[in-house]
Amino acid sequence: MYLFDSLGRAHSHNLVHGEVKSAHEDFRVDEIMPVQPSGEGEHLWLHIEKKGCNTEWLARQLARLSGVKSMAVSYAGLKDRHGITTQWYSIHLPGLADPDLSVLPEGVRLLQAIRHNRKLKRGTLSGNRFRLCVRDIKGSLDTLEQTLNNIKEQGVPNYFGEQRFGHDMGNLNQAEKLFRGEIKRLDRHERGLYLSAARSWIFNLVLSERIQQHNWNHYLPGDVLMLDGRSACFADDNSADLQQRIDHKQIHPTGPLWGKGESMARADCLELEMSIARGCSLFCEGIVAAGMDQERRALRLLVKQMNWQINDDQLFLDFELPAGSFATMVLREIIA
């Protein structure tokens, strides 16, 4: 059995209790898009506000309304249906006029429609802005204030969130069946979900172990370090200033996104990662057999532009996160 609650927390030893997502308005996400559409081209970009529906479902509705195949509709990132989100879609319409989008599904509002010469690709986002409300807080407000300050200063563990693993962590159970050969036929989407879940779980276990050892945000001999805001990594070169650069948030220790090829990690870091891998041999071997390349992910997630207000039993929280990170993992360090 896979238990997300078994993963270590970095800050929250005395969590307060509270209600998250008790209403759609309590969880707002706005995409931060680094690209501005040019105004011309065969791709129609749509800026949409949606409430109570997920990204893929709305993409299918847009394809239907536009009279195109589902593959003609793309988006930069997935958004949870529980909340209000603004995000961009693009529809490939070569030689076609703009479709009539005056009647959209309930809870969906078109903010802007503009042409561009390129499709919107997955991962184009630079990040997301979150505006959250946690209601019915119970516990020490002094502890809450201290936790929030710690997170603003130190960041949080960069876990893959529970949504990566499906309902009741079911994607991991399916990954087991896939790697044992018990599933004979899978479409590309499902296969990708199960492979991603298995690799993400290995990373989470490594990060949890480093939290237990109090070095998730400290230098460990043999570490692989990542430049802040970049995907570029470099191996431990025994520089005397590595911990200082970590403290100054210029670089971050990383963990493995398992795959084929030799690890960049060495010494104590490699030993720790291999000890986790030995307990996940089915996943590790299956991921390699699937041909996935080895990558790295930062262990620490910095929470940018973080502000909050506590009113009686409510917490209002604003912050920005880079693409690929999970706001729920910020809340996990705050709310039980």
* Four-point Cα dihedral 56, 62, 65, 71, nearest 10: -80
Query: Does residue 142 carry a catalytic annotation?
Result: no
Could you say which of 5, 26, 30, 80 is catalytic? Answer: 80
Euclidean distance between CA atoms 18 and 20, whole angstroms: 7
Backbone angles phi, psi at 323, to 5 degrees: -60, 145
Tell me how many degrees the CA angle 156-257-86 measures, rounded to the nearest 5. 55
What's the alpha-carbon Rg for the chain, to the nearest Å?
A: 21
Exposure b/e, 115-146, CB count within 10 A at least 16 = b: bbeebbeeebbebbbbbbbbeebeeeeeebee
In sequence order, what are the beta bridge partners of 36? none
DSSP assigned state of 221: T
Catalytic residues: 80
